[in-house]
């Protein structure tokens, strides 16, 4: 180390972990695996690291001229009201906060489109709704993980969307619905997987589906449902690819004088608080666990990538 005092930053860099993870490993705190703890302590011993007050301040961000290390949650969503209108993002934050504890800062950035430059890269990034090629470009700049399948080579955490769509389709067929419609999502991997799982069941059953394209917003789902009703006046079931979309579906059906469940069954996807409040049948996905697992993998890339998280249909009075 050329004679200068070894810092916690040196240890973290040599061990390939964040300073927060290095601090936890050295202090015996919760939040790192035993393998990381052993690796960090071995590196510290090899480098001759001795903890002192300044190093502890750098690790926790207290009274230092340096910026506190941070994880950036980068959300691509053109809706300026997305953070308040879509419970999914609040659930992501809840899970991410479980993983970082108090040692790292979380920075949330919502953009309508990905910025061209990256002047101040964070320690790690959690990508949401980032297209595959762009995700690969961000991955080359530093530690990156995506919620949902991204480009080849980009680590990701995702629920079993295909199975969720499959469960929704099986349920609607089992309840005897004959004229089934669907409001799918935008062309993203998670929406495509839900669509594929739903349509595979319908195709196997030789059951036609009236399809309207959505974008995970209530307003578009409302218009899409009106389109479905115009095309298929006998419509008796709708699968909405997210709970926010389901709210628009319910609104349009009620305005058209259709009784929910009696006339038209509705199934959503997310299992958010919206579904509970609306008594909506919905495919639950563990978003908080998904985000927590993603951030933990950012902090310790040596951890094995988590498998697909299970999805489960919760049947309520809407179907």
What's residue 34's pLDDT? Answer: 79
Identify the band that residue 56 occupies on the pLDDT scale cut at 50, 70 and 90: very low
- 182 forms bridges with which residues in the sheet? 211, 239
Q: Would strands 124-128 and 143-147 be described as parallel, antiparallel, or unpaired?
A: parallel
Find the largest Cα–Cα distance for the chain: 81
Report the C-alpha gap between 75 and 88 in whole angstroms.
Answer: 11
- What are the structural domains of the chain? 8-60 (1.10.260.40), 70-158+287-308 (3.40.50.2300), 161-284 (3.40.50.2300)
Q: Are 318 and 280 in contact (CB under 8 A)?
A: yes
| Rounded mean pLDDT, 238-255 | 98
- 179 CB-near residues (< 8 Å, 6+ apart): 210, 232, 234, 235, 236, 237
- For the chain, the first-to-last Cα distance in angstroms comes to 66
Residue 168: phi and psi, rounded to 5, are -65, -45
Read off the pLDDT of residues 190-223 as tens digits, 9 standing for 90 and up.
999 999 999 999 999 999 999 999 999 999 999 9
275: its two tokens: 């579904």
Q: Is residue 66 over pLDDT 50?
A: no
Half-sphere exposure of 254 (CA within 13 A, CB side): 9
295: its two tokens: 């951030």
Residue with tokens 């993983």: 99
What's residue 103's pLDDT? Answer: 58
Q: Are 165 and 196 in contact (CB under 8 A)?
A: yes
| Rounded mean pLDDT, 119-133 | 83
Q: Are 177 and 169 in contact (CB under 8 A)?
A: no
Residue 243: phi and psi, rounded to 5, are -65, -35
The pTM is what? Answer: 0.78
Which of left, alpha, beta for 170 (phi over 0: left; psi -120 to 50: alpha)? alpha
Residue 122: phi and psi, rounded to 5, are -80, 180
Report the C-alpha gap between 12 and 66 in whole angstroms.
Answer: 16
What's residue 65's pLDDT? Answer: 38
Read off the pLDDT of residues 150-168 as tens digits, 9 standing for 90 and up.
878 888 999 999 999 999 9
CA angle (81 as vertex; 76, 85 as ends), nearest 5:
100
Residue with tokens 């340096």: 66
């Amino acid at each position: 180390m050329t004679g200068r005092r070894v810092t916690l930053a040196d240890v973290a860099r040599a061990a390939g972990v964040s300073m927060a993870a290095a601090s936890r490993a050295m202090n015996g705190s919760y939040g790192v695996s035993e393998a990381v703890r052993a690796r960090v302590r071995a590196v510290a011993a090899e480098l001759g690291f001795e903890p002192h007050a300044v190093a502890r301040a750098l690790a926790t961000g207290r009274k230092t001229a340096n910026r506190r290390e941070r994880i950036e949650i980068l959300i691509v969503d053109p809706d300026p009201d997305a953070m308040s209108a879509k419970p999914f993002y609040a659930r992501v934050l809840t899970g991410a906060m479980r993983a970082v504890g108090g040692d790292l800062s979380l920075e949330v950035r919502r953009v309508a489109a990905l910025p061209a430059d990256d002047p101040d890269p964070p320690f790690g990034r959690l990508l949401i709704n980032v297209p595959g090629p762009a995700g690969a470009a961000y991955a080359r700049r530093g530690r990156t993980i995506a919620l949902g399948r991204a480009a080849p080579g980009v680590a990701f955490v995702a629920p079993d969307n295909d199975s969720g769509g499959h469960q929704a389709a099986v349920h609607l067929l089992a309840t005897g619905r004959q004229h089934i419609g669907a409001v799918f999502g935008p062309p993203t991997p998670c929406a495509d997987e839900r669509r594929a799982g739903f349509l595979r069941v319908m195709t196997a059953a030789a059951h036609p589906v009236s399809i309207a394209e959505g974008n995970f917003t209530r307003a578009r789902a409302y218009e899409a449902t009106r389109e479905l009703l115009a095309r298929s006046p006998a419509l008796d079931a709708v699968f909405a690819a997210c709970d926010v979309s389901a709210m628009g579906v319910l609104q349009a059906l009620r305005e058209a004088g259709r009784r929910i469940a009696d006339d038209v069954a509705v199934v959503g996807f997310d299992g958010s608080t919206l579904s509970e409040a609306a008594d909506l049948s919905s495919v639950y996905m563990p978003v908080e666990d998904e985000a927590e697992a993603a951030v933990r993998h950012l902090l310790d890339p040596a951890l094995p990538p988590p498998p697909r998280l299970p999805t489960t249909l919760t049947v309520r009075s809407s179907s």
